[in-house]
Structure 1
């Protein structure tokens, strides 16, 4: 096993032996510099090998790792460093034409800055830090129940929250995948999901060492490069959001490539059209495609499907409850609801967070029985599958009636002239709120409100759910993993409404 390839990045492969030696050098160098078990060290890196090494070294030294997504800039990074009490930050010198070292200096947080893959005057390089280490030094390790990770939520509804996970809570997720999908050392997973997000972190920073998988790191998303790498390395799995699946499918069709070794694709983190799952299943002959459901706080609530025979469930639900307890409750009272009824999803299991960095964020997150309030609306269908119908904070209240944006979005995504859509509440003097649709038209197509209304009525949608304002856009604001920033769209809708008064 020491010579087993655990990480592939570009043309380079790294065995467990290589990663272990480098991580031991890094862990001992950090301890020599005075960092102690329990201290937080952060990294704002792309999907690079060094991120994997930093994660392993942090575990060896008993340190808490704090991944920060590379798209964040001064304000967000400064907040996360201060909130997590981080003492050190790894950054690239330059990545995608942005000077991260200069930003780290500007922030002025009281942290040591280590530059990865490049140099910056007056700052220590990653290579120089490694040179201070001793591969034979004794390392303290960490308590399995101690905090291993502080990771910030995407912040689609306001200030990001610092989510705390232990070694055990993260490994509970990995072992669930092992039991359900048989993920093990035979698997090669292609990973374009940022390692600074919970999905990418679990499948590139944890699974190579717990389940023995090989992870293929992609620091930028390029469907052509992805398809070539997956074909060359015979990738067996992928766990990523909708934009990656759509891009992979489009490129595979263009090249008439069917990736016969691909056996599972779990798709989550953003809205997934049922048609996309069906189309992918038809194109890739040996792969089970499925929607899944979870969050940074509870990474795995559903496991999707593990056989192509359940294609319909993979496409039309958000997966089978797996490795935890989940139920639907009345959003107002918290009382359990009968099967099939719509309410708020709550979940409890070993993969749950151990808390948030700020005490005020912990208030009200759990019910009296210790179930985490997900904030999502949904139903339990087919005995133990979850179907998400919306987000509590996204609900549009029009004239006292609740409108679930997701229900309307899912229907309109079936219109051939609509490539993507997001519905948010727009203030209205008569009804309080009304539905505002931000629509990306399909290439060469046009769409307007009357046509959307006709389509929805023909689909059996109640008239009060039909959008009353339309904004045609070229793109939708998104987080690093593809979630639509509805907080920004709501603010845009509010400004439009105010301007029209």
Structure 2
């Protein structure tokens, strides 16, 4: 069970304001899903390969699974670790857990003992849901080992296959023998005991090093997050949103599940595989697709012309090369950007934004109650308009404190409750509209002889070279200048690329010489910290330190 004293909630006056302004609606996520199913019951809620579920079917089956979980003795408030894949059963499990009043903990199938042991220590889970089959690892055996190592009793649930271990419970058939009306009554009874600020979900912080901190997501704020995005994107019943990244992750939940479902739109669920993206978008007649960094090049695919239903492409995770936006525009497809975080605050480029603003910025906040300030890093001094500062945020879905982390919270928030994101942004006017541009992260700055190099700026410049598919810039220690820049690149079709060619490219672009990379390393693929696709910059810095500066 989660400990209430470890949870930081919104002040009562802010809750009253958000309710009064219609931002926080029905108390729980489960109630929202049921209301949507009553209104859009015959519409597809989910398409995944050959499988599909209408909203009515999703609502009914998740009622039964929730009642089955309750019958197992899993009491409301208990946390449940999730290590599952992008399948229909995972979506069912998500809503079933919420309907049972349980708290999903969004971990990844790639996590092992180092991560799961610490996350479990922080969240005290009562159950562990894993994929019954994983070609890379025995997750079922792992779940039992983790419980035994912690010296606790923990229900192991399996999905997408039969349980090889008789001690495990099979979630995919749980509650099938419970009458639909009886199951609905069980769910309604559980939901009656929850409120707007009841704990709904545990997400994990997006840090690239160390064990993630735990982010508590509350029912009304978390639903408002997804619903606000849907409104910002103009999604409506009949729209079909293709999503390829891990669904049990904040981006997956907000962009793939709660966002589309809040308006009766359809999730078209794929897998994190760029090679499968085109077939998914074309074959499922997607109207929208959300692309993570690994799949940006879908925008350049000639075969995308066959996606006649496609109207919008939303890029997430890094700055978008100009040629991607230009190629989409030439095909009559809207291209835009989204910037969000598990802690809250999401910005996206409005549909009516001019092309130059959609290409160069991440737009504006999605909720009318979002508040943004740009401070000089480490201070509470606002920067001048147009200047770069640390993004700090407060609003109706941005967390008020990490879970059970009072000491860290004192550093992570300003005196008046603004969350310090660690991201660098600037407020600018582009194409006649006010918007925000991403300028890097505080920790991703290279200091070369006192000159600051913004790594994301240089990465975008590298990405404009025809041979470069993906780029990352990290610091190499230097005894004279302090730091120098090392560029790691993945090239298209394995094309060669050396330092001389990169420098010639930067010279053609008229880039200041102190920003030029001083070593170029070509990799077959970038090392990553998770399926989500974030580059493992710590590993790259280790490689760069060992290599040193390249001699042209």
TM-score calculated relative to the size of structure 2:
0.83
SS in 1 for 2:412: coil
Contact 1:183 1:213 (C-alpha < 8 Å) held by counterparts: yes
Residue matched to 2:365: 321
Give ranges in structure 2 of 5+ residues lacking alignment.
Answer: 1-39
Please report how far the alpha carbon of residue 423 of structure 1 lies from its aligned counterpart in structure 2 after TM superposition: 0.8
Cα RMSD between the aligned structures?
Answer: 2.4
Please report how far the alpha carbon of residue 337 of structure 1 lies from its aligned counterpart in structure 2 after TM superposition: 1.4
Decide which of 453, 458, 473 is 1:403's aligned counterpart. 453
Separation of aligned partners in 2, 1:250 and 1:415: 15
Decide which of 460, 470, 483 is 2:510's aligned counterpart. 460
SS in 1 for 2:64: helix
Please report how far the alpha carbon of residue 353 of structure 1 lies from its aligned counterpart in structure 2 after TM superposition: 2.0
Contact 1:376 1:392 (C-alpha < 8 Å) held by counterparts: yes
Separation of aligned partners in 1, 2:397 and 2:220: 8
Please report how far the alpha carbon of residue 451 of structure 1 lies from its aligned counterpart in structure 2 after TM superposition: 2.9
Residue matched to 1:121: 165
Change in Cα spacing, 1:175 to 1:58, as seen in structure 2 (3 Å) is same
Contact 1:377 1:388 (C-alpha < 8 Å) held by counterparts: yes
Decide which of 349, 353, 368 is 2:395's aligned counterpart. 349
Q: How does 1:298-313 map to 2 (within 5 A)?
A: 298-300=344-346, 302-307=347-352, 310-313=354-357
Please report how far the alpha carbon of residue 91 of structure 1 lies from its aligned counterpart in structure 2 after TM superposition: 0.9
Residue matched to 1:492: 543
Deviation digits for residues 333-372 of structure 1 (CA, Å, limit 9, x no counterpart): 3311121111211222212024222414323212123222
Instruction: Say if 2:329 is the partner of 1:272.
Output: no
Decide which of 186, 192, 207 is 1:155's aligned counterpart. 207
Separation of aligned partners in 2, 1:116 and 1:321: 37
Residue matched to 2:380: 334
Change in Cα spacing, 1:228 to 1:103, as seen in structure 2 (3 Å) is same
Change in Cα spacing, 1:441 to 1:174, as seen in structure 2 (3 Å) is closer
SS in 2 for 1:280: helix
Please report how far the alpha carbon of residue 231 of structure 1 lies from its aligned counterpart in structure 2 after TM superposition: 3.1
Decide which of 88, 91, 98 is 1:49's aligned counterpart. 88
Change in Cα spacing, 1:230 to 1:211, as seen in structure 2 (3 Å) is same
Please report how far the alpha carbon of residue 390 of structure 1 lies from its aligned counterpart in structure 2 after TM superposition: 1.0
Change in Cα spacing, 1:344 to 1:154, as seen in structure 2 (3 Å) is closer
Please report how far the alpha carbon of residue 69 of structure 1 lies from its aligned counterpart in structure 2 after TM superposition: 1.7
SS in 2 for 1:91: strand
Residue matched to 2:278: 227
Instruction: Say if 2:228 is the partner of 1:182.
Output: no
Contact 1:194 1:201 (C-alpha < 8 Å) held by counterparts: no
Decide which of 53, 61, 65 is 2:104's aligned counterpart. 65
Separation of aligned partners in 1, 2:467 and 2:54: 48
Separation of aligned partners in 2, 1:454 and 1:465: 13
Give ranges in structure 1 of 5+ residues lacking alignment.
Answer: none
Residue matched to 2:197: 145
Please report how far the alpha carbon of residue 400 of structure 1 lies from its aligned counterpart in structure 2 after TM superposition: 2.4
Contact 1:114 1:124 (C-alpha < 8 Å) held by counterparts: yes
Separation of aligned partners in 1, 2:337 and 2:230: 18
Q: How does 1:67-86 map to 2 (within 5 A)?
A: 67-86=106-125
Decide which of 438, 451, 455 is 2:488's aligned counterpart. 438
Contact 1:24 1:133 (C-alpha < 8 Å) held by counterparts: no
Contact 1:31 1:61 (C-alpha < 8 Å) held by counterparts: yes
Change in Cα spacing, 1:146 to 1:256, as seen in structure 2 (3 Å) is closer
Separation of aligned partners in 1, 2:404 and 2:95: 26
SS in 2 for 1:457: helix
Contact 2:246 2:272 (C-alpha < 8 Å) held by counterparts: no
Change in Cα spacing, 1:203 to 1:419, as seen in structure 2 (3 Å) is closer
Contact 1:396 1:433 (C-alpha < 8 Å) held by counterparts: yes
Separation of aligned partners in 1, 2:79 and 2:328: 41
Change in Cα spacing, 1:434 to 1:217, as seen in structure 2 (3 Å) is same
